[in-house]
Amino acid sequence: MKPPLLLAALLLTAPAFAADAPSPGEIVAAAPAGEWVKIAPEDLLVMDLAPDRDGKARRVVIELMPPPFSQAWVGNIRTLAKAHWWDGLAIVRSQDDYVVQWGDPDSDDPSRAKPLPPLFATAQGDYTVPLDDSLRASWQERALADLKASMTAESAGQPAESRIKRDSYALTTQFVNGWPVASDLRTSYWPVHCYGMVGAGRGMAPDAGSGAELYTVIGHAPRHLDRNIALVGRVIEGIEHLSTLPRGTEALGFYETPGERTPIVSVRLGNDVPGLPLYEYLSTDSETFARYADARANRRDPFFIVPAGGVDVCNVPVPVRRVPAAQ
């Protein structure tokens, strides 16, 4: 009996074996420089946590959402970062397979809550973006093309569903300017709660939150939160400093005692952080991204026996990297 190949098990990328078909990672690695889009430092939020028990630094880098998404909250977040409002606050919650959340531990107690600078505050949530005629037509055309491809596959003797793109939560999913979105193909579209996405916590409806309290997804995509909370960004580096935090033992993963919370040293916009690397994402309109997404849906690299024939939008993470030194 052959022992399992430990290092080859569960390969995401298999450079040594991929003679016949490249893996998604290899496809991305071969993207031409022109397909990468630089992220402006002022669109980054840099959160430095207190060092870990071994004294190692813990930095989390978040990319803020561009227009037309959630700009009221993103504006608040810029104001709070410039005011150094989060400095000295803490990670207050870590719930397994759900979210890690940070902000003012005393926000529920008006006598102790940290005063906020003047902020935008929504009375009602507005978590979607109107679908204009051009976008609607384009996405409907894509949906039709998918259906045609499905029929072609069926007539060629392939399983029909292997070509249909389905989403469990919306009529279609797409990528807009580097961000995953869902749409009803009629009135609106909205960003979706994938792993690493950052949102603005809120109380009961119709409270819409201010952006002072943020969370990030550290488990299976909680897509039921789509259209119910404002998404404001995504973690592009250092999410492991949040996803590995001890889980809180109170209800919803809140920490039981102040000593369990992780202190936030500082939160700054990227242009206020000396020496911050430059980051870039792979254009979701690029040819490489299309091939990457297709490869995520149809794994042809040698480890795989049965390609899935489909993929959900949260299983196609948009590639983000530090700008290579050579460029």
Strand 188-191 and strand 197-200: the pairing is unpaired
Q: Which is nearer to a copy of itself, 35 or 85 (CB)?
A: 85
Q: Report the nearest approach of a copy of itself to the CB of residue 68 (Å).
A: 18
Q: What sign does the dihedral 157-162-163-168 (CA atoms) show?
A: positive
Q: What is the 3-state composition of the chain as percent helix, strand, coil, each rounded to the nearest 5?
A: 25, 25, 50
Enumerate residues 6+ apart whose C-beta is below 8 A from 290: none
Q: Which is nearer to a copy of itself, 305 or 325 (CB)?
A: 305
Q: Report the nearest approach of a copy of itself to the CB of residue 40 (Å).
A: 26
Give the Cα separation of 47 and 87 in Å (integer).
9
Q: What sign does the dihedral 76-78-82-88 (CA atoms) show?
A: positive
Q: Report the nearest approach of a copy of itself to the CB of residue 177 (Å).
A: 22
Give the Cα separation of 28 and 31 in Å (integer).
5
- For 44, the 3-state DSSP assignment is strand
Q: Which is nearer to a copy of itself, 65 or 245 (CB)?
A: 245
Q: How many other β-carbons are positioned within 10 Å of the β-carbon of residue 38?
A: 11
Q: Report the nearest approach of a copy of itself to the CB of residue 55 (Å).
A: 14
Q: Report the nearest approach of a copy of itself to the CB of residue 180 (Å).
A: 12
Per-residue burial over 83-92, b = 16 or more CB atoms within 10 Å of its CB, e = otherwise: eebbeebbbb
- Residue 235's Cα: distance from chain center in Å? 6
Q: Which is nearer to a copy of itself, 12 or 30 (CB)?
A: 12
Q: Report the nearest approach of a copy of itself to the CB of residue 312 (Å).
A: 4
Enumerate residues 6+ apart whose C-beta is below 8 A from 266: 46, 47, 48, 84, 86, 87
Q: Which is nearer to a copy of itself, 35 or 221 (CB)?
A: 221
Read off the amino acid at residue 176: V
Taking alpha carbons only, the member of 31, 41, 64 closest to residue 285 is 31
Q: Which is nearer to a copy of itself, 196 or 233 (CB)?
A: 196
Q: Report the nearest approach of a copy of itself to the CB of residue 13 (Å).
A: 8
Q: Report the nearest approach of a copy of itself to the CB of residue 264 (Å).
A: 15
Would you give the DSSP letter of residue 41?
A: G
Q: Which is nearer to a copy of itself, 286 or 315 (CB)?
A: 315
Would you give the DSSP letter of residue 246?
A: P
Q: Which is nearer to a copy of itself, 152 or 271 (CB)?
A: 152
Q: Report the nearest approach of a copy of itself to the CB of residue 34 (Å).
A: 28
- Residue 211's Cα: distance from chain center in Å? 17
Q: Which is nearer to a copy of itself, 99 or 282 (CB)?
A: 99
